[in-house]
Amino acid sequence: MTSITYTPFRESGFLARLIAGAKSFGAKFVAVRQAQAERIVNAHLATLDDETLTRIGIDRKALEKAPKAFYPDF
């Protein structure tokens, strides 16, 4: 008895390339947004005093080395 596998589209067809491109774009988009969020959080954490940073377990020296987004100081 032979087994037949069904593939909804060719692996090298237009739809396959379109799906692969969408997945690649999605992964890049998520990575960029995650990096942006980390910079924003680091900028906000940099405005906190040393006692608060120590209490939540963050080292000021490591925070100063981390990339930061512009965070206005009002």
- Going from N- to C-terminal start, the domains of the chain cover 32-74
> Three-class SS of residue 24?
helix
- Quote the pTM value: 0.65
pLDDT tens-digit series, residues 18-72: 888 888 898 999 999 999 999 989 989 988 999 999 999 999 999 889 888 876 6
CA dist., res. 28 & res. 61, Å (int): 30
9 DSSP 8-state letter: S
